[in-house]
């Protein structure tokens, strides 16, 4: 004989706690029909009967509530039910039931997800693949869904991302902006060959005048910062400016002129 010590609302169901520190997820109908109230004593056989008749129904209620927020993969539903104390056996039964009813279809889900990522976030296929793996979509279904993401469409999206990125106002050398663009395209999930095509067709430096002014400003500060030894200072300034994305010929011209001013 066990005693009900607590009853709490759990989404669309109720979680009943017993005096032996166990709990049971039940539907509202079960709560009423079995007169489950705090303080009531109940036989273990009755608890087993309630569990057998209603735990799957409770899990199904939870899953349907979760689906109100949009399409979900089978893996997402399985994880959601686990978080809400639905047993592994019942989680499997619920997911299979939802598949039978047409509420869960991982291929349809994956294709819809890919389509949204292509059209709304302009994400590359590598990131899409990782996101689908996180949602427990099988590799086979991921590849089938990504078949709709053509190389032409990927290149078009990458080009749009590149144009938006290069048009951002940033007080950095054009060379550094291009380095950041390459990293940005990689983080967005575009394939290496696509990134190479984009980088091969970026416009010539449209901020050459601003870059020369920036080179002068950063170079002068670097000469003040990097020690007293002339040779070591020159090498450190050169390396610093190169890391910032300035062309080597511009860096050398600046260093030569700056040292020439020092000799005067």
- What pLDDT digit, counting tens, does each position of 155-202 carry? 999 999 999 999 887 788 888 899 999 999 999 999 999 999 999 999
Reply yes or no on whether the pLDDT at 255 is more than 80: yes
User: Cβ contacts of residue 72 below 8 Å, gap of 6+?
Assistant: 66, 80, 104, 109
Give every strand in the sheet of 2-10, ordered side by side.
Answer: 23-26, 13-18, 2-10, 41-42
Tens of pLDDT, residue by residue over 17-35, are 999 998 888 888 888 988 9
Give, as one character, the DSSP assignment of residue 173.
-
Instruction: Please indicate whether residue 3 or residue 231 has the higher confidence score (pLDDT).
Output: 3
What is the Cα–Cα distance from 153 to 222, expressed in whole angstroms? 44
Closest to 219 in 3D by CA, of 170, 256, 178, 177 = 256
Check: CB of residue 42 under 8 Å from CB of residue 4. Answer: yes
pLDDT of amino acid 260: 43
Tens of pLDDT, residue by residue over 198-225, are 999 998 888 888 888 888 888 888 888 8
What is the Cα–Cα distance from 232 to 236, expressed in whole angstroms? 6
What's the mean pLDDT in 139-154? 96
- By CB neighbour count within 10 A (0-12 exposed, 13-18 middle, 19+ buried), where does 184 fall? middle
Three-class secondary structure of residue 16 per DSSP: strand
Reply yes or no on whether the pLDDT at 152 is more than 80: yes
Residue 63 backbone dihedrals phi, psi, to 5 degrees: -65, -40
Check: CB of residue 18 under 8 Å from CB of residue 35. Answer: no
Q: Would you tell me the crossing angle of helices 174-187 and 151-166 to the nearest 10 degrees?
A: 140
Q: Give percent of the chain above pLDDT 90.
A: 55
* Torsion over CA: 224, 228, 231, 232 (sign): negative
Q: In 27-146, at which residue ranges do the beta strands (DSSP E only) sit?
A: 41-42
Please, which pLDDT band fits residue 259 given cuts at 50, 70 and 90?
Answer: low
Please give the model's pTM, rounded to 2 decimal places.
0.71
Check: CB of residue 22 under 8 Å from CB of residue 50. Answer: no
- Select, from the ranges 77-81, 234-238, 239-243, the one with the highest average predicted confidence (pLDDT): 77-81
Bridge partner list, 10: 13
What is the Cα–Cα distance from 50 to 16, expressed in whole angstroms? 11
Three-class secondary structure of residue 13 per DSSP: strand
pLDDT of amino acid 263: 42
User: Cβ contacts of residue 126 below 8 Å, gap of 6+?
Assistant: 189, 190, 191
What's the mean pLDDT in 228-242? 87
What is the Cα–Cα distance from 262 to 256, expressed in whole angstroms? 10
């Amino acid at each position: 004989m066990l005693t009900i010590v607590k009853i709490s609302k759990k989404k669309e169901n109720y979680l009943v706690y017993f005096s032996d520190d166990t709990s049971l997820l039940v539907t509202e109908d079960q709560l009423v029909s079995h007169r489950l109230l705090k303080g009531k004593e109940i036989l273990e056989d009755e608890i087993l009967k309630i569990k057998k008749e209603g735990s799957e129904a409770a899990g199904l209620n939870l899953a349907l509530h979760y689906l109100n927020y949009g399409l979900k993969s089978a893996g997402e539903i399985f994880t959601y039910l686990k978080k809400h104390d639905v047993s592994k056996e019942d989680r499997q039964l619920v997911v299979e039931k939802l598949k039978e009813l047409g509420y869960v279809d991982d291929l349809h889900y994956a294709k819809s997800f890919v389509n949204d990522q292509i059209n709304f976030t302009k994400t590359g296929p590598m990131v899409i693949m990782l996101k689908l793996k996180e949602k427990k979509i099988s590799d086979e279904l991921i590849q089938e869904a990504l078949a709709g993401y053509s190389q032409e469409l990927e290149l078009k999206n990458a080009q749009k991302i590149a144009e938006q990125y290069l048009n951002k106002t940033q007080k950095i050398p054009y060379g550094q902006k291009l380095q950041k663009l390459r990293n940005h395209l990689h983080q967005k999930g575009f394939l290496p060959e696509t990134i190479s095509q984009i980088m091969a067709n970026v416009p010539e430096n449209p901020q050459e005048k601003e870059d020369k002014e920036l080179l002068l400003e950063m170079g002068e500060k670097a000469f003040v910062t990097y020690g007293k030894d002339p040779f070591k200072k020159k090498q450190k300034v050169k390396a610093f400016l190169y890391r910032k994305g300035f062309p080597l010929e511009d860096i050398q011209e600046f260093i030569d002129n700056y040292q020439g001013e020092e000799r005067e």
